Structure 1
Amino acid sequence: MSTENEALGSVATAAEAASYPVAPGYRVNVRSGPGTAYPVVRTLAAGSWVSILCQTPGEWVSGPYGTTNIWDNIGNAQFVSDAYVNTGRDGYVTHRCG
Structure 2
Amino acid sequence: MSVDRAEETAGSGKPDAVVAEASVRMYAVAPGVRVNVRNGPGTNYNIVRVLPLGAKVPIFCQTPGTRVSGYYGTSNIWDNIDNGEFVSDAYVNTGSDGYVADRCAL
TM-score normalised by structure 2 residue count: 0.79
| 1:72 alignment counterpart | 79
Say which of 48, 55, 60 aligns to 1:41.
Answer: 48
Per-residue CA deviation, residues 19-55 of structure 1 (Å, 9 max, x unaligned), is: 1000000000000000011000000001000000000
Higher RCO (C-alpha 8 Å, min separation 6): 1
Identity of aligned residues (%): 63
| 2:95 alignment counterpart | 88
Residues 88 and 3 of structure 1: is their aligned pair in 2 closer, same or farther, counting only changes over 3 Å?
A: farther
Q: Runs of 5+ in structure 2 lacking a partner?
A: 7-19
Amino acid at match of 1:30: V
Task: Give distance in 2, aligned partners of 1:82 and 1:32.
Answer: 15
| 1:21 alignment counterpart | 28
**Largest Rg, 1 or 2:** 2
Q: Secondary structure at the match of 1:83?
A: helix
Residues 39 and 14 of structure 1: is their aligned pair in 2 closer, same or farther, counting only changes over 3 Å?
A: farther
Residues 73 and 14 of structure 1: is their aligned pair in 2 closer, same or farther, counting only changes over 3 Å?
A: farther
Task: Give distance in 2, aligned partners of 1:21 and 1:87.
Answer: 8
Q: Give 1 or 2: higher helix fraction.
A: 2
Once superposed, which parts of structure 1, at least 4 consecutive aligned residues long, lie more than 4 Å away? Answer: none
Question: Aligned residues, how many?
Answer: 90
